[in-house]
Amino acid sequence: MADDTENVAVMTVKEPWDLIRLSLDERIYVKMRNERELRGKLHAYDQHLNMVLGDAEETITTVEIDEETYEEVYRTTKRTIPMLFVRGDGVILVSPPVRVSI
Amino acid sequence: MTYMYNSLNMSDAALFIGTPQEKFFYHNTLLCVVNSLQGKNVTVDLRNDTYVCGLIELVDGFMNISFKNAIYCDPQGNEFAFDNLFIHGRNIRYVHIPENMSLLSTIRHEVSKKFYKPHMKQLTEKTRKTKKAVMQHMKVVASLNT
Protein backbone atom coordinates (compact mmCIF):
# COMPACT_ATOMS: atom_id res chain seq x y z
CA MET A 1 0.00 0.00 0.00
CA ALA A 2 1.54 3.29 -1.00
CA ASP A 3 2.31 5.39 1.97
CA ASP A 4 1.42 8.83 0.74
CA THR A 5 0.55 11.62 3.07
CA GLU A 6 -2.86 12.66 1.93
CA ASN A 7 -3.79 16.22 2.57
CA VAL A 8 -7.40 15.46 3.17
CA ALA A 9 -9.24 18.32 4.82
CA VAL A 10 -10.93 16.73 7.79
CA MET A 11 -14.47 17.95 7.44
CA THR A 12 -17.05 16.33 9.63
CA VAL A 13 -20.33 16.14 7.81
CA LYS A 14 -22.84 16.82 10.50
CA GLU A 15 -25.76 18.29 8.66
CA PRO A 16 -27.06 18.60 5.10
CA TRP A 17 -25.45 22.04 4.75
CA ASP A 18 -22.07 20.40 5.09
CA LEU A 19 -22.86 18.26 2.07
CA ILE A 20 -23.40 21.35 -0.02
CA ARG A 21 -20.32 22.92 1.50
CA LEU A 22 -18.35 19.95 0.18
CA SER A 23 -19.54 20.81 -3.32
CA LEU A 24 -18.24 24.38 -3.24
CA ASP A 25 -16.12 25.14 -6.29
CA GLU A 26 -17.21 21.87 -7.84
CA ARG A 27 -19.50 21.27 -10.73
CA ILE A 28 -22.99 20.48 -9.53
CA TYR A 29 -26.37 19.53 -10.89
CA VAL A 30 -29.33 21.54 -9.65
CA LYS A 31 -32.87 20.45 -10.26
CA MET A 32 -35.29 23.34 -10.29
CA ARG A 33 -39.01 23.87 -10.49
CA ASN A 34 -40.78 23.97 -13.83
CA GLU A 35 -38.77 21.13 -15.33
CA ARG A 36 -35.50 23.00 -15.31
CA GLU A 37 -32.02 21.75 -14.60
CA LEU A 38 -28.84 23.64 -14.11
CA ARG A 39 -25.30 22.45 -14.34
CA GLY A 40 -22.52 24.69 -13.26
CA LYS A 41 -19.70 25.40 -10.88
CA LEU A 42 -20.95 26.30 -7.43
CA HIS A 43 -19.30 29.54 -6.35
CA ALA A 44 -21.56 30.53 -3.46
CA TYR A 45 -24.65 29.45 -1.63
CA ASP A 46 -26.64 30.59 1.37
CA GLN A 47 -29.35 29.33 3.72
CA HIS A 48 -32.13 30.05 1.23
CA LEU A 49 -30.25 28.00 -1.35
CA ASN A 50 -29.65 31.15 -3.36
CA MET A 51 -26.63 30.15 -5.40
CA VAL A 52 -24.08 31.67 -7.69
CA LEU A 53 -23.16 29.31 -10.50
CA GLY A 54 -20.32 29.84 -12.91
CA ASP A 55 -20.54 28.60 -16.53
CA ALA A 56 -24.11 27.54 -15.93
CA GLU A 57 -26.02 25.51 -18.46
CA GLU A 58 -29.78 25.57 -18.11
CA THR A 59 -31.87 22.75 -19.57
CA ILE A 60 -35.59 23.20 -19.95
CA THR A 61 -37.55 20.03 -20.66
CA THR A 62 -40.91 20.24 -22.39
CA VAL A 63 -43.32 17.48 -23.28
CA GLU A 64 -45.22 17.92 -26.46
CA ILE A 65 -47.89 15.49 -27.51
CA ASP A 66 -47.96 14.76 -31.22
CA GLU A 67 -51.44 15.31 -32.55
CA GLU A 68 -51.44 12.40 -34.95
CA THR A 69 -49.51 9.69 -33.21
CA TYR A 70 -50.40 10.83 -29.68
CA GLU A 71 -46.90 10.10 -28.56
CA GLU A 72 -45.06 12.24 -26.06
CA VAL A 73 -42.12 14.10 -27.47
CA TYR A 74 -39.60 15.25 -24.90
CA ARG A 75 -37.79 18.33 -26.04
CA THR A 76 -34.98 20.11 -24.24
CA THR A 77 -33.79 23.66 -24.70
CA LYS A 78 -30.38 24.61 -23.42
CA ARG A 79 -28.63 27.86 -22.83
CA THR A 80 -25.37 28.85 -21.18
CA ILE A 81 -24.90 31.79 -18.89
CA PRO A 82 -21.35 32.71 -17.72
CA MET A 83 -22.27 33.77 -14.19
CA LEU A 84 -25.70 33.16 -12.79
CA PHE A 85 -27.35 34.04 -9.51
CA VAL A 86 -30.14 31.55 -8.76
CA ARG A 87 -32.88 32.46 -6.33
CA GLY A 88 -33.28 29.73 -3.76
CA ASP A 89 -37.02 29.29 -3.84
CA GLY A 90 -36.83 27.69 -7.27
CA VAL A 91 -34.32 25.04 -6.26
CA ILE A 92 -35.50 21.49 -5.61
CA LEU A 93 -32.26 19.60 -5.18
CA VAL A 94 -28.51 19.98 -5.43
CA SER A 95 -26.27 17.10 -6.37
CA PRO A 96 -22.93 16.23 -7.94
CA PRO A 97 -23.38 15.97 -11.70
CA VAL A 98 -25.32 12.94 -12.81
CA ARG A 99 -22.74 10.59 -14.22
CA VAL A 100 -23.72 8.39 -17.10
CA SER A 101 -22.45 4.92 -16.46
CA ILE A 102 -20.16 3.58 -19.17
CA MET B 1 -44.79 44.91 3.21
CA THR B 2 -41.57 46.69 2.50
CA TYR B 3 -41.07 50.35 3.25
CA MET B 4 -38.14 51.88 1.43
CA TYR B 5 -37.02 55.45 1.66
CA ASN B 6 -34.02 56.35 -0.43
CA SER B 7 -31.91 59.45 -0.01
CA LEU B 8 -31.30 61.73 -2.95
CA ASN B 9 -28.05 60.07 -3.93
CA MET B 10 -28.73 56.44 -4.43
CA SER B 11 -25.28 55.07 -3.81
CA ASP B 12 -25.08 53.70 -0.27
CA ALA B 13 -28.62 54.92 0.27
CA ALA B 14 -29.70 54.86 3.87
CA LEU B 15 -32.34 52.21 3.45
CA PHE B 16 -35.02 52.17 6.02
CA ILE B 17 -35.46 48.46 6.29
CA GLY B 18 -38.85 47.64 7.69
CA THR B 19 -38.68 44.44 9.70
CA PRO B 20 -35.84 42.74 11.59
CA GLN B 21 -36.31 39.77 9.32
CA GLU B 22 -35.65 41.92 6.29
CA LYS B 23 -32.63 43.38 8.01
CA PHE B 24 -31.30 39.89 8.60
CA PHE B 25 -31.86 38.88 4.99
CA TYR B 26 -30.22 42.06 3.77
CA HIS B 27 -27.05 41.47 5.74
CA ASN B 28 -26.77 37.71 5.98
CA THR B 29 -27.68 36.12 2.69
CA LEU B 30 -26.36 36.12 -0.85
CA LEU B 31 -28.51 39.19 -1.37
CA CYS B 32 -25.26 41.13 -1.00
CA VAL B 33 -24.32 39.88 -4.47
CA VAL B 34 -27.49 41.34 -5.96
CA ASN B 35 -26.91 44.42 -3.84
CA SER B 36 -23.45 44.90 -5.32
CA LEU B 37 -25.08 45.03 -8.75
CA GLN B 38 -26.81 48.28 -7.91
CA GLY B 39 -26.06 50.82 -10.58
CA LYS B 40 -25.17 48.08 -13.05
CA ASN B 41 -26.99 46.95 -16.11
CA VAL B 42 -28.17 43.39 -15.60
CA THR B 43 -30.68 40.92 -16.93
CA VAL B 44 -33.12 39.36 -14.49
CA ASP B 45 -35.11 36.28 -15.48
CA LEU B 46 -38.52 36.14 -13.91
CA ARG B 47 -40.59 33.15 -12.89
CA ASN B 48 -43.09 33.75 -15.65
CA ASP B 49 -40.44 33.17 -18.35
CA THR B 50 -40.07 36.87 -18.98
CA TYR B 51 -36.93 38.85 -18.45
CA VAL B 52 -36.01 42.39 -17.57
CA CYS B 53 -32.87 44.18 -18.70
CA GLY B 54 -32.07 47.41 -16.94
CA LEU B 55 -30.10 49.42 -14.45
CA ILE B 56 -30.68 48.20 -10.90
CA GLU B 57 -31.60 51.19 -8.83
CA LEU B 58 -32.31 49.63 -5.45
CA VAL B 59 -32.48 46.23 -3.87
CA ASP B 60 -34.10 45.54 -0.53
CA GLY B 61 -34.02 42.70 1.98
CA PHE B 62 -36.66 40.70 0.13
CA MET B 63 -34.82 40.99 -3.19
CA ASN B 64 -37.43 43.37 -4.57
CA ILE B 65 -35.61 45.26 -7.30
CA SER B 66 -36.41 48.65 -8.72
CA PHE B 67 -35.01 49.28 -12.17
CA LYS B 68 -34.26 52.38 -14.17
CA ASN B 69 -34.59 52.38 -17.97
CA ALA B 70 -35.81 48.83 -18.04
CA ILE B 71 -36.86 46.71 -20.96
CA TYR B 72 -39.36 44.01 -20.15
CA CYS B 73 -39.42 41.16 -22.67
CA ASP B 74 -41.88 38.31 -22.81
CA PRO B 75 -41.40 34.86 -24.44
CA GLN B 76 -43.35 35.98 -27.49
CA GLY B 77 -40.63 38.55 -28.14
CA ASN B 78 -42.60 41.68 -27.27
CA GLU B 79 -40.48 44.32 -25.61
CA PHE B 80 -41.75 47.10 -23.39
CA ALA B 81 -39.59 49.96 -22.17
CA PHE B 82 -40.13 51.53 -18.77
CA ASP B 83 -38.41 54.41 -17.06
CA ASN B 84 -38.95 52.84 -13.68
CA LEU B 85 -39.85 49.25 -13.05
CA PHE B 86 -40.33 47.42 -9.77
CA ILE B 87 -40.29 43.67 -9.53
CA HIS B 88 -41.24 41.66 -6.49
CA GLY B 89 -38.45 39.49 -5.14
CA ARG B 90 -40.56 36.35 -5.27
CA ASN B 91 -40.89 36.61 -9.03
CA ILE B 92 -37.18 36.42 -9.68
CA ARG B 93 -35.70 33.22 -11.00
CA TYR B 94 -32.22 34.23 -12.09
CA VAL B 95 -30.02 37.28 -12.04
CA HIS B 96 -27.33 37.36 -14.71
CA ILE B 97 -24.16 38.58 -13.11
CA PRO B 98 -21.50 40.25 -15.24
CA GLU B 99 -18.73 37.70 -15.54
CA ASN B 100 -15.85 40.07 -14.88
CA MET B 101 -16.91 40.47 -11.25
CA SER B 102 -14.80 38.83 -8.59
CA LEU B 103 -17.34 37.27 -6.25
CA LEU B 104 -15.27 36.93 -3.11
CA SER B 105 -13.96 40.47 -3.08
CA THR B 106 -17.44 41.82 -3.87
CA ILE B 107 -19.03 39.88 -1.02
CA ARG B 108 -16.24 40.91 1.35
CA HIS B 109 -16.69 44.52 0.34
CA GLU B 110 -20.45 44.35 0.80
CA VAL B 111 -20.21 42.72 4.20
CA SER B 112 -17.58 45.14 5.45
CA LYS B 113 -19.41 48.29 4.46
CA LYS B 114 -22.08 47.78 7.05
CA PHE B 115 -23.58 51.06 7.93
CA TYR B 116 -25.79 49.06 10.22
CA LYS B 117 -24.52 49.44 13.73
CA PRO B 118 -25.88 46.85 16.15
CA HIS B 119 -27.98 48.98 18.43
CA MET B 120 -25.17 50.64 20.36
CA LYS B 121 -27.75 53.04 21.69
CA GLN B 122 -29.29 50.39 23.89
CA LEU B 123 -26.01 49.77 25.66
CA THR B 124 -25.55 53.39 26.63
CA GLU B 125 -29.17 53.87 27.55
CA LYS B 126 -29.18 54.16 31.28
CA THR B 127 -32.41 53.31 32.91
CA ARG B 128 -32.76 53.99 36.59
CA LYS B 129 -32.36 50.31 37.23
CA THR B 130 -29.10 50.00 35.32
CA LYS B 131 -27.76 53.20 36.84
CA LYS B 132 -28.52 51.89 40.30
CA ALA B 133 -26.91 48.56 39.45
CA VAL B 134 -23.77 50.28 38.18
CA MET B 135 -23.59 52.45 41.31
CA GLN B 136 -23.93 49.40 43.51
CA HIS B 137 -21.24 47.62 41.48
CA MET B 138 -18.85 50.58 41.89
CA LYS B 139 -19.52 50.67 45.61
CA VAL B 140 -18.72 46.97 45.94
CA VAL B 141 -15.55 47.35 43.87
CA ALA B 142 -14.48 50.32 45.97
CA SER B 143 -15.10 48.42 49.20
CA LEU B 144 -13.09 45.47 47.89
CA ASN B 145 -10.17 47.66 46.98
CA THR B 146 -9.90 49.28 50.39
Digit-coded pLDDT (tens) for B47-85: 999 999 999 999 988 999 999 999 999 999 999 999 999
B30 vs A52, A83, A90: nearest CB: A52
The full set of domain ranges for chain A reads 16-87
* Alpha carbons A80 and A59: distance in angstroms, whole number: 9
Digit-coded pLDDT (tens) for A35-80: 999 999 999 999 999 999 999 999 999 888 888 888 888 888 889 9
For residues A33 and B120, which has the higher predicted lDDT (pLDDT)? Answer: A33
DSSP assignment of B58-126 equals EE-TT--EEEEEEEEE-TT--EEEEEEEEE-GGGEEEEEPPTT--HHHHHHHHHH-------HHHHH--
Residue A86 is predicted with a pLDDT of 95
Asked if A20 contacts A47 with a C-beta cutoff of 8 angstroms, the reply is no
pTM of the predicted protein model: 0.73
Asked if B56 contacts B38 with a C-beta cutoff of 8 angstroms, the reply is yes
Nearest CA in chain A to B92: A87
Contacts of B92 in chain A (CB under 8 A): 87
For residues A102 and A50, which has the higher predicted lDDT (pLDDT)? Answer: A50
Contact: B29, A48; criterion CB under 8 Å: yes
* B55, containing H or E segment: strand B51-59
Chain A: give the shortest CA distance to residue B47, in Å: 9
Nearest CA in chain B to A87: B93
- Residue B47 near chain A (CB below 8 Å): yes
* Alpha carbons B57 and B86: distance in angstroms, whole number: 10
* A16, containing H or E segment: helix A16-22
- What is the CATH topology of the domain spanning A16-87? SH3 type barrels. (2.30.30)
Position B4 pLDDT exceeds 50 = no
Asked if A55 contacts A80 with a C-beta cutoff of 8 angstroms, the reply is yes
- Residue B63 near chain A (CB below 8 Å): yes
CB atoms closer than 10 angstroms to residue B110:
16
Asked if B80 contacts B67 with a C-beta cutoff of 8 angstroms, the reply is no
* Alpha carbons B117 and A55: distance in angstroms, whole number: 37
Helix (H, G, I), strand (E, B) or coil at A63: strand
Residue A32 is predicted with a pLDDT of 95
Of A8-17, B32-41, B135-144, where does mean pLDDT reach its minimum?
Answer: A8-17
